[in-house]
Chains A and B, each alone.
Chain A
Amino acid sequence: MTAMLTIDNLRTSFLQSGKKLTVIEGVSFTVEPGETVGVVGESGCGKSVTSMSIMQLLGKNVEMSGSIRFQDKELLTLSDKEMQKIRGNQIAMIFQEPMTSLNPLHSIGKQISEPLRRHLGLSKQAAKERAIQLLKLVGIPRADEIISDFPHQLSGGMRQRVMIAMAMACEPKLLIADEPTTALDVTIQAQILELMKKVRDEQGTSIMLITHDLGVVAEMCHRVIVMYAGQIVEEADVKGLFDNPQHPYTRGLLKSMPSVNVNQERLDAIPGSVPLQSEMPRGCRFAPRCSQVMDICHQKNPELLTVSDSQKCRCWLYSEGEAQ
């Protein structure tokens, strides 16, 4: 079976006033059909840029190289027109801010109908009926009334449901969810995650879930990719990640999560912050913040190596053999 999404050695750079800033460097991973892959990391580690690279929504001053294969199509070589046929149709996206991600001047019905009319060529009436069905699917009561409402008349949770209905309209094969629950109340978060699971299981959609919340990862994902400073530092199935984290950064992330079982005085935060793209350290990018740093870490950036059947890690701790 071919993978739903295969990213190979993706490199995304922004061109700013003559300078080239590489934000994503050598990212490779796959998303299998029906699989949910989590992408985690701190703000500024390149999660969102990766997703926007897949959608090719980064605008003009961007240079991308490597390969993004969606089923058997290479997205990086597609024209704008061809890419438009894929966006919202085969690959759909949900964003973090439901409050601002809907057009304030268009009715809910119009916004959900738009991809249906555009990609499936439905008539106005047929699209409206389908939109009502979709609203019911995402658990919105009185769907036939809500359809003529405007976004400002709905709560944040309802708006995120509308966003999901909109994204699922054309039954996409891949759904990219960029922090879909971050802006919501905790109770609503749980509902939205349940809803995404339900939709995923009904339609067999693959999901790439971007989040900084490891709780969400545990709840939703099969496999996890940990990103740091534009690179993948660890890749693992969800069990491996929580039971046996390899990379010091992943361990740091897990330690900085509050736990009920362990009586902690204070959380272990990772000191410092993600380095700026223009001030990337020469060796391992995490070295300046790492608690297990060695000499070699400051000299050479390690490769992403397979450490077990289901786990890969980018750290000198596991590749001392090759270091010499």
Chain B
Amino acid sequence: MELTTIWFLLVAVLFTGYFILEGFDFGVGMLLPVLGRDDRERRVLINTIGPVWDGNEVWLITAGGAMFAAFPEWYATLFSGFYLPLLLILLALIARGVAFEYRHKRPEASWKRRWDAAIVVGSLLPAILWGVAFANILRGVPLDADHEYVGGLLNLLNPYALLGGATTLALFLTHGAVFIALKTTGDIRERAGALAVRLGVGAAVLAVGFLTWTLSIRSSAAAVVLAVGAALALLGGLAAARVRREGWAFAGTAVAIGLAVATLFAALFPNVLPSTLDAAGTLTATNAASTPYTLKIMTWVAVIFTPVVLAYQGWTYWVFRKRIGVANIPQH
């Protein structure tokens, strides 16, 4: 396999991992005021992701770094072109990350309320905007022959991209509710399980609509298979959620998100950012890539360190495998 193909796959894997992991972080954050009726319940919710959210976010940083190193033209065009959405995502991630760490540092209700707002908005914005961004990558954007983005902000807010945003929002909400049901005890667990089913129906409708529209824009055999797989996994997850098989439900939504992201990348390949104007402006895995020497070094580093990272991150989830409930929340 060509090195550029390997790195296209690796970038796809990193974003897939990011959306599966931070997908439920975003979901938990957005559901904070919905499922957490008082401060102790909200603390239960936050603590389900407390030990892991930071490590989950590194998937994004690694994906960004891999894109920069392996496909500098893709990174440069995408990040300068999608300027305002990325700015909003950054501001949201800043507010949200600090909020997790600072919320419990003072007892005042007003202090906690403000950080709760930061967590909700800081989770909501990226949950929508990542969908908008990836839909636009797939749909293609106006690029001139120098691969410079020449569309404005409004160009990014087309109906297909907005449907993409609604889809990621609904998927992450469902995924978050399923995760909460899996990680908590008592009343919260019950409510989260019931909510997951209701959210999941909406997510399924949006996801099927979005993936169908996606495949009508560009498609490949692999993309079709993956899209069908995503839909089946989501339905399976929902069925499991209905009968409160929480582990299977979580596996279902995780696989569904993973396959949906994989569908986008499979449909996109070998392009990485198609141009809707000049065909010469289209960025591909070949013309956006770094030199074979750079890719070879990066491949070695990835081959050696990725299994190590997966092992210790997996171990972290094992260490914090226990469910928590309001009884486990200390006074301060």
Decide if A and B are genuine partners. no
